[in-house]
Amino acid sequence: MKKFISILLILVVLSSCSEYQKALKTEEIGVKFDVATKQYEKGKYMKAIRLFEQIAPSYRGKPQAEKMFYMYAQSFYKTKQYYSSGYQFESFVSSYPKSEKKEEAAYLAALSFSKLSPRYSLDQIDTYKAIDKLQDFINEYPDSQYLAEANVIVKDLREKLEKKSFEIARQYNKISDHKAALVVLENFIIDFPGTPYKEKALYYRFDSAYELAINSVDSKKLERLNVAKSAYANLVKFNSNTEFKAKADEMLARIETDLQQFSK
């Protein structure tokens, strides 16, 4: 009995493979569509894509075109080909504005672009694009069932950009380009007032102001010492128990000592 079942399964598989191969070679687009649909429903998305690619150019305007292009886009999404799925879902929304799948397709288009967002240390052009796409979706469908999820994704993407900006700003401090660090870190604090990196940004700004001041020429030293002292005040005003307190207090003591030379 087990042997019979095994043979039957093999025959079914061979028959399925034969059907698929025949569909690839036939000129009948209806056959291709039927087999592609079967492959899609079985979760064999790569095989479905091959057939959909063959019939897509000639299927526009046909009664089953809406279903086909939806499955085509979904197949790309399911196989993590997000550039293609984003493009296909956007094309679907444009081609079928009255479709009941329009909202879902619009969301999946935006979601596809969000999947292309790289880790924060890399170029973030795709992250900016994803935020724009998701924001367009949120504006278009303010009552969407996908709204909460879309807002969470936008928040995560914005946090990634925030971290990227902070790391760029901190890098100026790390390479001892303290003049640039003062400007870039100040801009970061202004641009992201609620950032979780604010305390660190304030500290690194103070550190750059301090290094610039104590290593300054006499003609600029007084002004720079006062800038550094003000940067310290901003840090402890933000958090009087900052994790950098001990080091910052040591630096302040040196600033006060150097300032005394100008009061004599």
**pLDDT of 4 above 50:** no
Please state the rounded mean pLDDT for residues 49-54. 95
**pLDDT of 224 above 70:** yes
* C-alpha distances out from residue 262 to 94, 130, 219, 220, 229, Å: 70, 54, 11, 12, 14
Q: How confident is the model at residue 62 (pLDDT cuts 50, 70, 90)?
A: confident
Please state the rounded mean pLDDT for residues 222-244. 96
* C-alpha distances out from residue 138 to 92, 131, 211, Å: 18, 10, 46
Instruction: Give the separation between CA 211 and CA 208, rounded to whole angstroms.
Output: 5
- pLDDT (tens digit, 9 = 90+) per residue, 118-140? 999 899 999 999 999 999 999 99
Instruction: Give the separation between CA 16 and CA 1, rounded to whole angstroms.
Output: 23
Residue pointed to by tokens 């901003």 = 234
**DSSP secondary structure letter of residue 122:** S
Q: Which two tokens stand for residue 210?
A: 């301090």
Instruction: Give the separation between CA 47 and CA 214, rounded to whole angstroms.
Output: 68
**String of DSSP letters for 214-245:** HTS-HHHHHHHHHHHHHHHHHHHHH-TT-TTH
**pLDDT of 113 above 80:** yes
- Look at residue 9 in the predicted model and tell me its pLDDT: 47
Q: How confident is the model at residue 195 (pLDDT cuts 50, 70, 90)?
A: very high
Among 53-67, 149-163, 166-180, 205-219, where is mean pLDDT lowest? 53-67
Whether the full predicted model's pTM is greater than 0.85, yes or no, is: no
Q: What is the SS3 assignment for 119?
A: coil
Please state the rounded mean pLDDT for residues 103-107. 98
**pLDDT of 264 above 90:** no
CB-based contact 249:237 (threshold 8 Å): no
